[in-house]
C-alpha cells in the first residue's frame, strides 16, 4: 500500500480537507490470450492515497501508462475503483446514490486533454457550456444564457460566441470553452487531464495563465494531470509523481526540483527533450509487462533504477517522510537527495 496520505497528516494541519483519496486500487482484466491461461490483469492503480486542502492544487505527473488518467477518472467518479475511497468535502463519491452523486458533481468538474474531441461538434457553445448545469437540474432558458455569458467572459470569450459551433474556434479558444463548461457550476475542484498538451506551445502559456487567474479569483483547486513537470510546477502547490500505479514521491515543487528523493522523479527531471507520442506508446506496453513481472514483489522501478540492489528487488518500498511534507517510496531516498540538483529549466 502506498501510505503517503496515511503517513502525512502533519502537512494538512487544521486546514479543511477538500479531497481525500485513500488506498485506491484499480485492476483491469484484459482479454484472455488463450483458453488455457487466466485473463491477464493490469494494476492501473496500486494503493494510491493523497489528500488535498481546500484552495490548494495538486499536480500528478508520470510517463504514459503510470495510471494518471485512471486516477483522474476515479476521482471524477467516472469509473468505480476495485477498492479504496475518494472523499470530496467528506462525501464518499463512490458510495453516493446516483441522484446524490449527480448533485455532488456541481463541486467537481473535468477539463479533458483534447479540445477538438471533447466538445460535441453538433452543439452550440451555449448548450455545451450549460450542459453540467442542466445535468444537475432544470434551469430556465434566460438564466442559462445569462450564466453562460458570465462564464464565457471569465475565460476571455464574448457573449456573441454563445451561438457558434466548436469548429469556428481555434484550439486555444476551444480549451477556453471547455474551461467555461467546467466553471459553470462553480466547482471547488477541477480535474484537468493534460489540459494543454494538445495545444501549440505558443497557446499553452495563455491557457495556463487563464487557469492561474481563475485559481486566484475563485480559490479553485486543481488536480492537474500531466506528463510534464514544468506544467504542474507552474500551477500546483504539491506534486505527486506516479510510476506504475503508485505515488512514488510527493512534495512541494521546490522539494522535487531541489531535493528530489526518488530516482524516477530524477529521471523525469532529466527527460529532455520531452517524449514523442510514438515513444510514449512503446513505453506504455513495456510498463504493463513490467508491472506483472518478477519485480512485482519488490520495487516496481528496480528494473530501471541505477541504485537498485537485492533489497530493492525483494522488498517493495513504502512511502515515508523524507522532510516536512515530502514523501518518497524509495529505499535509497537519502542517497538520491544528496545528489546535486539538476539544472532544469522550467
Ligand atoms: P496514464 O494516464 O498515466 O497514461 P492510464 O491511467 O491511461 O495511464 O493507464 C494505466 C494502465 O492501465 C495502462 O497500463 C493502461 O494500458 C491500463 N488501462 C487503462 N485503462 C484501461 C482499461 N479501460 N482497460 C484495460 N486497461 C486499461
Q: Which atom of ligand 1 is nearest to the CA of 66?
A: 3
Q: Whose CA is nearest to atom 20 of ligand 1?
A: 70
* Residues having CB within 6 Å of any atom of ligand 1: 28, 30, 42, 44, 62, 64-70, 284, 288
Q: Quick count: other Cβ atoms within 10 Å of Cβ 283?
A: 15
Ligand 1 centroid to Cα of residue 69, in Å, is 7
Residue spans of the chain under pLDDT 50? 1-12, 272-295, 346
Q: Whose CA is nearest to atom 16 of ligand 1?
A: 65
Q: Which atom of ligand 1 is nearest to the CA of 30?
A: 25
Q: For residue range 316-334, list pLDDT tens digits in order.
A: 999 999 999 999 999 999 9
> Residue 36: what pLDDT?
87
> Residue 292: what pLDDT?
45
User: Best substitution site from 27, 28, 82 to test ligand 1's pocket, by max atoms within 8 Å of Cβ?
Assistant: 28
pTM of the model: 0.87
> Residue 291: what pLDDT?
45
Ligand 1 centroid to Cα of residue 158, in Å, is 38
> Residue 271: what pLDDT?
74
Amino acid at each position: 500500500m502506498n501510505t503517503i496520505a496515511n503517513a502525512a497528516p502533519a502537512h494538512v494541519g487544521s486546514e479543511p480537507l477538500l479531497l481525500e483519496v485513500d488506498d485506491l486500487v484499480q485492476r483491469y482484466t484484459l482479454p484472455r490470450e488463450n483458453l488455457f491461461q487466466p485473463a491477464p490483469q493490469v494494476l492501473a492503480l496500486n494503493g494510491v492515497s493523497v489528500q488535498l486542502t481546500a484552495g490548494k492544487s495538486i499536480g500528478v505527473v508520470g510517463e504514459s501508462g503510470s495510471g494518471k488518467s485512471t486516477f483522474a477518472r476515479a476521482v471524477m467518479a467516472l469509473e468505480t475503483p476495485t477498492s479504496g475511497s475518494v472523499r470530496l468535502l467528506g462525501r464518499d463519491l463512490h458510495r453516493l446514490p446516483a441522484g446524490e452523486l449527480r448533485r455532488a458533481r456541481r463541486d467537481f468538474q473535468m477539463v479533458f486533454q483534447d479540445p477538438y474531441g471533447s466538445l460535441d461538434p453538433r452543439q452550440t457553445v451555449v448548450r455545451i457550456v450549460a450542459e453540467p448545469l442542466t445535468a444537475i437540474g432544470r434551469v430556465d432558458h434566460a438564466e442559462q444564457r445569462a450564466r453562460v455569458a458570465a462564464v464565457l467572459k471569465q475565460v476571455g470569450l464574448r457573449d456573441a460566441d454563445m451561438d457558434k459551433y466548436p469548429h469556428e474556434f481555434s484550439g486555444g479558444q476551444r480549451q477556453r470553452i471547455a474551461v467555461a463548461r467546467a466553471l459553470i457550476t462553480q466547482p471547488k475542484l477541477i480535474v484537468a487531464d493534460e489540459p494543454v498538451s494538445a495545444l501549440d506551445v505558443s497557446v499553452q502559456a495563455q491557457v495556463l495563465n487563464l487557469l492561474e487567474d481563475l485559481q486566484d479569483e475563485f480559490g479553485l483547486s486543481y488536480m492537474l494531470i500531466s506528463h510534464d513537470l514544468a506544467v504542474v510546477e507552474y500551477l500546483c502547490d504539491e506534486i505527486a509523481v506516479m510510476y506504475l500505479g503508485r505515488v512514488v514521491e510527493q512534495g512541494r515543487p521546490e522539494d522535487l526540483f531541489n531535493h528530489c528523493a526518488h530516482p524516477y522523479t530524477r529521471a523525469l527531471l532529466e527527460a529532455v527533450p520531452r517524449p514523442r507520442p510514438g515513444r510514449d506508446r512503446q513505453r506504455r506496453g513495456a510498463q504493463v509487462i513490467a508491472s506483472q513481472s518478477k519485480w512485482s514483489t519488490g520495487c516496481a522501478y528496480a528494473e530501471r533504477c541505477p541504485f537498485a540492489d537485492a533489497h530493492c528487488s525483494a522488498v517493495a518500498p513504502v512511502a515515508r517522510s523524507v522532510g516536512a511534507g515530502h514523501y518518497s517510496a524509495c529505499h535509497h531516498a537519502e542517497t538520491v537527495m544528496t545528489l546535486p540538483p539538476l539544472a532544469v529549466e522550467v
